[in-house]
Structure 1
């Protein structure tokens, strides 16, 4: 299936010809494509719907206008953007039976993917700090976690995320590639793209691993530090009920963090041990598609406040719908 768009070459300043990248996807078996399409479309729709519901529930309920839920709705927004950078393009390619992604498209996908994964990590870290203040300094909580600090933390996360992903993407622009480039993945992943470059990629690898170390490792350190403090604080609470109450506010956050980091590390370990490229692509489905889809469920299952807000929100919506139907009948 060759399309006319397959033959556009782009000539860069230094005369190297860059054509297009081919995203090989999760499988090269044609009969598996409809299954993959159906699975990813449904996961994508669940992610959009679940995270939108969380945002709407939190913003419509004045009781949930607290730092914890402010960060949660930011996380939901980032998760929507995160899956939207990779899945729609993959679905489009399966639908049109083309594997092509343009050079610019690939760079853009890399930029946004890195930005949103960075934001995911930072928001999870900020949420750990929020739980730390709530449990270890409960009396000063409202003073410390004031609206200005919360806004600043989110803003700083965006700025650092944008700087890191710009740096990583600009580093790729200096690489030259031969003509047809097959990426054994369903999106343009930084590591895979660097591996395809012809010429010296030493500097790129250094910047990439430095980025992963600093922007993945330091936040994880912060999360672990917060939880060590939280654990010792809960340990000092005398009543079992008090212990449970303090711990239950952390359970959802802990689940989301462990899901995100375990799947992320799993992918990097599986690609480091040099398994087949398709298996590392399949492994990365876990943290790029499954985690953002499960986050809203993890947060709303254990959480009475979110459940209440969701019920209220859906009740208001259903009343509006009924009103519209009644009015239509009358007119």
Structure 2
């Protein structure tokens, strides 16, 4: 590990010189690439410097402790410092190991979130709306921006499907663990007998795809325009502004009708389609990888039940990491950071195990 850290420190120092070079600055594409690489290395290098300083201080404390000529009070202070520094060195080493783990190239990206009502009729639609509000409130707490892309309402305040984009640094790194089937257990308002019903909704979290990264052949697309409609089929727009795009090779279909502009609806539909196509390609690639390399937090399969929201007990349980929080109201109001942190920690622990084996 030390050899790798020395190499990364040298690389960081080399990049520091390059990004200050006027010739490199004039080449903006190269400069941006080097600045990005430099900023990614910075936390590792800073932590390594802290480790080096702590190890040197630990060495000095040891020398004082074992120096027979040193007075007793000084040696006692050195012993206390050794205990503190020993713990700090071990903590820093663990932190550096995590920083050295392979990065998901999509972690810093914006995300497209798709929520669909599953089993449970109107109650499932209402739960889908609850999940949409939960992610919206979470984004507001962090300072991320939410942009609606597509909405299909049920007419009773619920959603058959809602697709939206969350824009913010590191959005995918936090929300990628939300993909899967979410289950709710509660007594619906329409239930006179007070029986608990179980409903479900599925969540898919897809990283936004840059045009440079992923291009679609225009000949592979069929674009249909039609008149927007709302709940019950009533007309929302008197012009053919709604857009449906079909990707002919895969059969994937995306519709958008929330904007009054046909061009804006087409742009949004293409964003969703690109994200789905990239996700499909990634899923197919992962299916080819040995099953025993799946992490503890699951494969991200949309059919996999990942979490239960139990209203009678006021709890939310994540089944992948066996964590239960008894703060359901706050959780649904966007206070989900504790669960996300637990999922991130679990994922890192599994990756560390894989690296150390």
TM-score of the superposed pair, with normalisation by structure 2 = 0.25
Larger of the two Rg values belongs to structure:
2
Q: Which structure has the higher relative contact order (CA within 8 Å, separation 6+)?
A: 1
